Structure 1
């Protein structure tokens, strides 16, 4: 009698898949609900309702669309010319990407009608689907809106910010930021892209080498005015009025799309500007300060939030899989090493999430909002608070992005060989996206150095040990005291910028210190959330 090979081993993954397909990112997560209760105060009911509504989309429809566009055959590509030899530089993207993008941006995240906490929780739930050609455009649009709002002094800028915030005829514009040139991304003051004023109109000439969200409607671009020493900030529309439908770009070409290991659904490209019309934003000699102080700050906040969302999904799915998967006669979550790893993942996800929402609460309390650099028109307390937020945002960026890769890799290991299978789960995609997020908006070494220089510069009016005590106010006293003493000793080291052993040891310790400092901040946030339950 012939036997069905399937009957010999009938093992399947259906129970796990049935659970996974029914998970509601918000309603099935009591922890994030408690985080909102802790930090949103009397706004909780309103924020809770909005979170539940968007979660119904993010957890199911947008999740499936994000999975669909992740396949290699659906990666975007360039069509440089049409059939009549017209240069069009059309970015060809799959239908699923365009549908999801339109639906997400119609949430009007940056509208004056949308409460900041509603915006944050919506972004957190959307980011549980990782990049999906959504995360970068969303945060770039947020940064573009924030900087233009400070300097919307022309009809063009006012219309752009209206298009991004409230939409025009139901169409919500998308923003991007083009800062990097071929010699490097972090050294913005070294930009050589030239801005020339011709007959009262600014035009850009030169190249940008690393431009993400190149499908956007508008981009924040840094360029050096001809003959000037300092870099200025401009907003460049991708198309001038009436030309989008004709596919005539605004004086620039998209030369090629980068081949990235992660965030592959998102186009990152090399651009050549040849007379693109550009609108200056803010004083021409304050471009770098306004980019770093406003635009990149929002992006760095998002990297922390995105890391929390990614770790939350990775830990959730790994934990449930460990309950279903059996080996050697029992579920693998009963093996001590697995149980310990699950606990580590859950703790990391929770403290990163709590830290991100606590930092956002402190950010919202920042009087006058973000500014391009430190100012002298504030009280000492306000100045210190602004400094705290600036440094915490950078600390969160480097810590959360680093932890995301570690935790996602650990989650994949719970799945064994299936952990690296792109068609088994979203974890490989989340892992690759996380690795890219480590480099966005300033890689680790750059931000570690910036934090050190900031604290050195401020020590005359804000002693480093008082900075640590301030950001960890309410934390376990012994740990906070030890960190305060450590930073006092580190900042007292003279000129650690050599390549000798002592300098290398210093920076290794500084790296570890900054990571432990922000973990302490996250743990403080987690303790607040748990105490509020």
Structure 2
């Protein structure tokens, strides 16, 4: 090898780290009654950062699933084949309780611990998080049919990944999917045309087309279809109790921008056997809790992506030299990195706070339930929007090295927009904020009480909260309210993040957030933090091994 091929000034491989090595995450567990889960989260984080799991993640995306509609004899089989790496990732996720396991427990903080696990494990590979998330979210909706819940919930919560086409109740564990979207309706599910006709034995027969059904290899699905009473919710198994395939035909797999390890499909229901879930004609109300739970995972997934991108940027800039010194020692790059770190921590804190609201809601706290309703809609809008921008900036920190597939950054970049689209794109999430404000006055009271917990701690936060209150006064005109919806959702998410940071984060991080996001004219571009921000403290907190507020090494 000639001297011209000597490799110099390149960052070493980033491996053997822990995705749980983050003060904000571990502080949230200790603060909100889930310290018992710290060991489990850190163990999973170490596994997520291992070379073996990174290799599995690469294979899962590079070898995407394939659809086999028929066997070699011409029999319809409607099966999806995955690379073994996919099944390895799914096995870890299920065995560590990232799916529906929290619903089976009664331990304080179970949903927060599950959220932290989902956050650290998603940083390894995000695609398989889709069926994991839907399985988690299916349980509260299924409880609208107590007899079905009694049969299926224990299997949905079981820590056994039992892949394959078999009758659900004969398996050791189940994965659930959701089948809502149709080509003529999209987010407007009330425009759905799939029909459900009573069979006379308590079941229905579904006939129609679904435009997007993610994870079609799942064991059971919650589906929406029209009945005489209106849009209704149903449980649809892929395999019937007698072992025969249900009338659910996989037409094709979607060729997607990202999320390529996960299969998303178009399906036809051809007299598919289904069991009703909830009241006939109240399908949207029945399934909305599943939607809300998957929206939580959209926030967590976006926060996880931010943390993964930040880690790569910090690693590269610490080893790459330009103009005589390391990139991370140069003022403008330090500002960019610190800004990325502030955004990441704000997203993480909000995701963990929403998960804590789930725990408290399950314990009967009506205020936390109301807070979750509104804060989740605003958080889904804003955090998921910021995910794409954050991924692009983190990739740019690596320059051309980040633009090549081997870096892993393109996968992160392609994945980010999905979480803003899934379970309601930006307009849907923003309009949901308006809907919550209009229909649930207690939600606004709970939201303002939460942000006011930090009242008086930072004048910029106080001013921003006052600005939100002023915006809320301008919602009387429905058309004007719609035009304000995105701005309102953004500002509500920002003041909630600011309140959380002021109360729980390092003072330098909170100061930088309030100075940039809440004070004056903010251009949204990373690397534009105002003068006087403590970049050194922010970057020290963001780097691996930083101590948390209690002095514990993360």
TM-score under structure 1 length normalisation = 0.86
Q: Distance in 2 between matches of 1:275 and 1:13?
A: 62
C-alpha separation in 1, matches of 2:472 and 2:496 = 19
Q: 1:208 Cα deviation (Å)?
A: 0.8
Bigger CA drift: 439-448 or 120-129? 120-129
Partner of 1:29: 22
Q: Which residue of 2 aligns with 1:430?
A: 412
> What is the DSSP-based 3-state SS (H/G/I as helix, E as strand, rest coil) of the residue aligned with 1:85?
coil
Aligned to 2:393: 410
The verdict on how the C-alpha distance between 1:170 and 1:178 changes in structure 2, with shifts beyond 3 A counting, is closer
User: What is the CA RMSD across the aligned residues, in angstroms?
Assistant: 2.4
Q: Distance in 1 between matches of 2:196 and 2:499?
A: 47
Change (3 A) 1:13 1:180: farther
* Number of the residue aligned with 1:448: 430
Of residues 341, 344, 357, the one that matches 1:362 is 357
Task: Say which of 469, 489, 507 aligns to 1:514.
Answer: 489
CA contact (8 A) 1:139 1:302 kept: yes
The Cα shift of 1:301 comes to 0.5
In structure 1, the partner of 2:49 is 59
Q: How does 1:317-466 map to 2 (within 5 A)?
A: 317-366=312-361, 385-423=368-406, 425-458=407-440, 466=445
1:192 aligns with 2:155: no
Rate the CA distance shift 1:169–1:16 in 2: closer, same or farther, 3 A: farther
Q: How does 1:172-321 map to 2 (within 5 A)?
A: 172-200=173-201, 201-225=203-227, 227-228=228-229, 230-241=230-241, 243=243, 248-292=244-288, 294-321=289-316
Deviation at 1:358? 1.7
Q: 2:84 aligns with which of 74, 95, 100?
A: 95
Q: For the Cα contact (< 8 Å) 1:468–1:484, is it kept in 2?
A: no
Q: Distance in 1 between matches of 2:446 and 2:241?
A: 49
Cα pair 2:468 2:491 within 8 Å, conserved: no
CA distance in 1, matches of 2:200, 2:487: 54
**Which deviates more from structure 2 when the two are superposed, residues 178-187 or residues 342-351?**
178-187
1:490–1:510 contact (8 Å) kept in structure 2:
no
- Deviations, residues 177-210 of structure 1 (Å, cap 9, x unaligned): 0110111221122222111111312111111111
Q: CA deviation at 1:159?
A: 2.5
Determine helix, strand or coil for the equivalent of 1:317.
helix
User: Paired residues, what number?
Assistant: 488
1:39 alignment partner in structure 2: 32
Residues 29 and 113 in structure 2, CA contact (< 8 A), matched pair in contact too: no
Give CA deviations for 1:43-62 in whole Å, capped at 9, x if unaligned: 41x21111122223222233
SS of residue in 2 equivalent to 1:183: coil
1:487 Cα deviation from its structure 2 partner: 3.8
Task: Tell me, yes or no, if the aligned pair for 1:179 and 1:208 is still in contact at 8 Å.
Answer: yes
Q: Is the 8 A contact 1:130 1:310 kept in 2?
A: no
CA distance in 2, matches of 1:298, 1:521: 19
Partner Cα separation in structure 2 for residue 511 and residue 483 of structure 1: 16
Q: Residues 419-444 of structure 1: CA distance to partner in whole angstroms, max 9, x if unpaired? A: 12111x22211111111111000111
1:14 Cα shift? 6.4
Q: Unpaired segments of 5 or more residues in structure 1?
A: 370-381, 498-502
Look up the match of 1:161. 153
1:135-158 CA distances to partner (integer Å, 9 max, x unpaired)? 11111001112222343224xx43
| Distance in 2 between residues matched to 1:145 and 1:153, nearest whole Å | 13
Conserved 8 A contact 1:213-1:268: yes
CA distance in 1, matches of 2:355, 2:337: 27
Q: CA 1:320 to 1:103, structure 2 compared with 1: closer, same or farther past 3 Å?
A: closer
1:473 to 1:321, Cα distance in 2 relative to 1, 3 A: same
CA contact (8 A) 2:135 2:175 kept: yes
Instruction: Please state how far the C-alpha of 1:452 moved relative to its aligned partner.
Output: 1.6
Q: Unaligned regions of 5+ residues in structure 2, if any?
A: 161-168, 507-548
1:169/1:58 Cα in 2 relative to 1: closer, same or farther (>3 Å)?
A: farther
Q: Is the 8 A contact 1:138 1:174 kept in 2?
A: yes
CA distance in 2, matches of 1:363, 1:62: 30
Distance 1:222 1:453 in 2: 21
Q: What does the per-residue CA deviation read over 1:325-347, in whole Å, with 9 as the maximum and x for residues that have no partner?
A: 11122111222221111001111
List structure 1 segments (4+ residues) > 6 angstroms apart after TM superposition: none
Residues 96-145 of structure 1 deviation map (CA, whole Å, 9 limit, x = unaligned): 1122212321224433247333322211111112423x211111001112
